[in-house]
Amino acid sequence: MAIYNPKSLKAEEFINHEEILKTLAYADENKNNDKLIDEILEKARPQKTKTGYVCAGLSHREASVLLACENPEKIKKMFEVAEEIKQAFYGNRIVLFAPLYLSNYCVNGCLYCPYHAKNKHIGRKKLTQEEVKAEVIALQDMGHKRLAIEAGEDPVNNPIEYILECIKTIYSVHHKNGDIRRVNVNIAATTVENYRKLKEAGIGTYILFQETYHKNSYETLHPTGPKHDYAYHTEAMDRAMEGGIDDVGLGVLFGLDKYRYEFAGLLMHAEHLEAVHGVGPHTISVPRVKHADDIDPNVFDNSISDEMFTKIAACIRLAVPYTGMIISTRETEAVRAKMLQVGISQVSGASRTSVGGYTEEERPHDTEQFDVSDQRTLDEVVRWLMETGHIPSFCTACYREGRTGDRFMSLCKSGQIQNCCTPNALMTLTEYLVDYASEETRKIGYRLIEDELKKIPKENVRKIAAEHIEAIKNSNKRDF
**Pairing assessment for the beta strands 324-327 and 346-348 based on DSSP bridges:** parallel
For residues 146 and 403, which CB has a smaller minimum distance to ligand SAM in the complex? 146
Q: Is residue 260 part of the contact set for ligand SAM (CB under 6 A)? A: no
**One residue of 14, 90, 370, 394 binding ligand SAM per CB under 6 A:** 370
* Cβ-count burial 183-203 (b if 16+ within 10 Å, e if not): bbbbbbbbeeebbbbbeebeb
Give 225-258 as a 3 state SS string. CHHHCHHHHHCHHHHHHHCCCCCEEEEECECCCC
For residues 171 and 209, which CB has a smaller minimum distance to ligand SAM in the complex? 209
Q: Is residue 330 part of the contact set for ligand SAM (CB under 6 A)? A: yes
Structural contact between residues 302 and 258, judged by C-beta atoms closer than 8 angstroms? yes
For residues 19 and 154, which CB has a smaller minimum distance to ligand SAM in the complex? 154
**One residue of 63, 69, 78, 113 binding ligand SAM per CB under 6 A:** 113
Q: Is residue 208 part of the contact set for ligand SAM (CB under 6 A)? A: yes
Structural contact between residues 240 and 398, judged by C-beta atoms closer than 8 angstroms? no
Shortest separation between residue 283's beta carbon and ligand SAM, angstroms:
14
Q: Is residue 135 part of the contact set for ligand SAM (CB under 6 A)? A: no
For residue 220, the tally of other CB atoms under 10 A from its CB is 14
DSSP code, position 33: -
Stretch that binds ligand SAM, among 83-91, 150-158, 377-385, 420-428 (CB under 6 A): 150-158
For 125, 129, 158, 181, 244, the CA distances from 165, given in Å and listed in that order, are 17, 8, 11, 16, 19
**One residue of 75, 253, 381, 391 binding ligand SAM per CB under 6 A:** 253
Q: Is residue 343 part of the contact set for ligand SAM (CB under 6 A)? A: no
The residue count of the chain comes to: 480
For residues 251 and 415, which CB has a smaller minimum distance to ligand SAM in the complex? 251
Q: Is residue 188 part of the contact set for ligand SAM (CB under 6 A)? A: yes
Stretch that binds ligand SAM, among 57-65, 82-90, 204-212, 260-268 (CB under 6 A): 204-212
Structural contact between residues 112 and 221, judged by C-beta atoms closer than 8 angstroms? yes
Stretch that binds ligand SAM, among 23-31, 72-80, 290-298, 448-456 (CB under 6 A): 290-298
Q: Is residue 125 part of the contact set for ligand SAM (CB under 6 A)? A: no
Q: Is residue 240 part of the contact set for ligand SAM (CB under 6 A)? A: no
For 199, 206, 285, 475, the CA distances from 282, given in Å and listed in that order, are 15, 9, 10, 34
**Pairing assessment for the beta strands 93-103 and 146-151 based on DSSP bridges:** parallel
Shortest separation between residue 227's beta carbon and ligand SAM, angstroms:
6
The contact set with ligand SAM (CB under 6 A) reads: 112-113, 150, 152-153, 186-188, 208-209, 211, 227, 253, 287, 289-290, 292, 295, 330, 369-370
